[in-house]
Structure 1
Amino acid sequence: MAGLSLVQHIILEQRRAPEASGEFTLLLNDIVSACKAIAHEVNRGGLAGNLGIAGSENVQGEVQKKLDIITNDIFIRSLEWTGHLAAMASEENDEIIPIPAHYPRGKYLICFDPLDGSSNIDINLSVGTIFSVLRAPDGIAEPSEADFLQPGTRQVCAGFCVYGPTTLMVLTTGNGVNGFTLDRDVGEFILTHPDMRIPEDTAEFAVNMSNRRFWEEPVRRYVDECMLGLDGGREKNFNMRWVASMVAEVYRILVRGGIFMYPYDTKSPGKGGKLRLMYEANPMSFIVEQAGGASSTGRERILDIRPEHVHQRVPVILGSKNEVDRVVSYHGQHRA
């Protein structure tokens, strides 16, 4: 029902599950509060001195922006004390983030990228936050990294926020996908995009063409066909989009269809891919599949991957089902 606040929507979802304790609902409310605070800091930008690099690197060796650190701190501070989490994992932290001993522990784990697309922040393009919620194993008082290493099919919830011309949150708990717009006048996320669905067919693709020479043959074949369109044997011409912000790319696909690819390449062969499985590929794949799309590495369904470590990287091909299936079929033909 459009017009509901996100909190009202969550409560209605909870009422459909009589066994629910309400703890998960409270956790989602805490995540919503963290995203509102991040939206505020992103919006202030240069007014608060939030732009520019911080002079440090994260665990992936990526140069951190000031807002990477600020948003990471906001997310941790907003969630560590609430009593709903057993531990956290962030793109910006080498190790698992424990809950301080003086705070109560909950039964959930969260993985998050506090500021996806932060390379865009200084040029005022869309950035966002991505999160994935898992259940902590029963009887574990001090979760370790191994307790996070669950396949994407085990996610309880996944979502992301886009901080753009408007601030939007997209959320799934396994019962479809809904989008909420932040009404700054009342300080609430309001349901504006109920039951989001990805068209099975598309005429748009998103990929970083500068990496073409490093791609495997199935991806080059697919992109070359899209570039040629009707002249290359496809039934239509295609447009290319590339924002270099996964949240913006996936939101566009949810609204009007498309395919997003960050495939395996030989530029950094030891990494296995560009995007991180636990807090980028898994939550986005859960959302895309719940909206009727598909998500794959080209070789396997992303949600079926059993993680090896919390910062593991994987290739990502997701979006409109028929186009993803085509790319997967090209990988299959190449291996045959």
Structure 2
Amino acid sequence: MVQLSEHLEAWAGISAGRQAVAETVFALSRASAELAALIAQGPLAGELGRVVGASDDGDGQKALDVRANDLFLHHLRNAPVAAVASEEMPHAIPLHGAAPIAVAMDPLDGSNNIDIDGPLGTLFALLPSERHDDPALPFTAAGDRQLAAGCVLYGPHTVLMLTMGDGVQVFTLDPRTGDFHLTRAAVRVPEAKREYAINASNARHWPLPVRAFVEECLAGSDGPRGVDYNTRWLGCVAADAYRVLLRGGIYLYPGDARPGYGRGRLRLVYEANPIAFLMQQAGGTATDGFVPILGIAPHTLHQRVPLIFGSCDKVARVVALHLDGVPAAGQRPLFGARGLFRS
């Protein structure tokens, strides 16, 4: 079975640019392996779910959020990385100013799952960096500038979903050695699958195009699609991304009418962008409802964005409902909306 280090070495060859990407990905994988071991200890490692600081989402920064961030920074200091941006830090920080790579990351996705032993994840994006005085500058690039992206899922086993612009490969962690091994090559998002993921508790706040799409799914075999759907919501976008990569379907976290959620909850630079790159490279797609995620240039480091990703056929339907001019939720009755039950 091919180890991640061997895969990276073969991919990099003698290209200096590729070698920098490979070294950075490997550093991230070592941090992920250490984090997986820490997560596996659960309460034996201390009160990992304890709130230790404030966060923009109101849930509070957890002890494991901080430890994960410190762990990744420790490993990235030994990689050719000019700057790092993290959900756990208010600003990007410089590491090695002349290095060619900038890393954007969410060190611990799904931290509300810590105390219930639910799925957790890490997301990261590698961007090109040029020598400059502003460490935040590389993170103003649109997602289509990514050199590589990855998503780690810490579940019953730990997997790394990775793209370096040549498809998506999945590596599984051997906890006995701390090494990742290639277990799925050239992953493709299946089409025509009957699963969708959305937090239904926010239904009354959704924009009408999203409500319309979900109503189509809920109608099942009695509706225009003529088939029954299953719904999934794991509370960890890394876990939902892995499910979509393997089983298809669609994930939706739209903007909604709640205060502060008009542009969704997920962050463009280090959550939506790496997932969108993974989806694109696996034959899927990602959008904010109107335009592709990878074409959006961020204005701020922690910019939020509505995120809808998955199989092209499902995502295209949601985009069509948005572009057809379906009005905002509450402007007219749901079942009176134009195009609601058009298949």
Give the TM-score normalised by the residue count of structure 1: 0.93
**What is the rounded CA distance, in whole Å, between the counterparts of 2:288 and 2:71 in structure 1?**
32
Residue by residue, what CA displacement relative to the aligned partner does 1:249-268 show, whole Å, maximum 9, x if unpaired? Answer: 01001111110000110113
Aligned partners of 2:71 and 2:15: how far apart in 1? 33
Q: Which amino acid is 1:22 matched to? A: Q
Q: Which residue, out of 66, 71, 87, partners 2:63? A: 66
Q: Structure 2 unaligned runs (5+)?
A: 328-343
**Amino acid aligned to 2:222:** D
Residue pair 2:172, 2:181 contacting (<8 A) in 1 also: yes
Cα distance change on mapping 1:280 and 1:104 into 2, 3 Å: closer
Q: Which residue of 2 aligns with 1:253?
A: 244
In 2, distance between residues paired with 1:21 and 1:211? 43
Residue in structure 2 matched with residue 86 of structure 1 by the alignment: 82
Deviation at 1:235, TM superposition (A): 2.5
Of 106, 126, 130, 2:99 maps to 106
1:212-261 Cα deviation digits (max 9, x unpaired): 10011110000011011111221311000011100000100111111000
Preserved CA contact (<8 Å) 1:59 1:92: no
User: SS of the residue aligned with 1:278?
Assistant: helix
In structure 1, the partner of 2:39 is: 42
Structure 1 residue 105: Cα displacement: 4.5
- Counterpart AA for 1:187: G
Contact 2:21 2:147 in 1 (8 A): no
Contact 2:51 2:62 in 1 (8 A): yes
The number of aligned residues is 327
Seen in structure 2, the aligned counterparts of structure 1 residues 228 and 271 have a Cα distance that, compared at 3 Å, is closer
Alpha-carbon distance, 1:18 to partner? 4.5
The CA distance in 2 between the partners of 1:60 and 1:105, in whole Å, is 34
Q: Classify the secondary structure of the residue corresponding to 1:292.
A: coil
Match of 1:231 in 2: 222
Check the 8 A contact 1:58/1:91 in 2, yes or no. no
Asked if 1:56 corresponds to 2:53, the answer is yes
In structure 1, the gaps of 5 or more residues are none
- Distance change >3 Å, CA 246–CA 6, structure 1 → 2: same
Match of 1:314, SS state, is: coil
Please say if residues 83 and 104 of structure 1, whose CA atoms lie closer than 8 Å, have aligned partners that are also in contact: no
**How far apart, CA to CA, are the structure 1 residues paired with 2:82 and 2:199?**
37
Matched, 1:5 2:3: yes
Instruction: Quote the Cα distance in structure 2 between the aligned partners of 1:212 and 1:334.
Output: 19
Equivalent residues of 2:83, 2:136 under 8 A apart: no
% identical equivalent positions = 40
- CA offset at residue 60 of structure 1? 5.1
Amino acid at match of 2:94: P
CA RMSD, 1 decimal? 1.7
How far did residue 273 of structure 1 move? 1.2
- Compared CA separation, residues 47 and 301, structure 1 to 2 (3 A): same
Q: CA deviation at 1:73?
A: 0.8
Matched to 1:29, the amino acid is F
8 Å contact 1:288–1:318 — kept in the other structure?
A: yes
Letter in 2 for 1:6: L
Return the alpha-carbon distance in structure 2 between the equivalents of residues 83 and 257 of structure 1: 34
Residue by residue, what CA displacement relative to the aligned partner does 1:38-88 show, whole Å, maximum 9, x if unpaired? 1111111100104322331135554011111110110111112x2511110
Q: TM-score w.r.t. structure 2 length?
A: 0.91
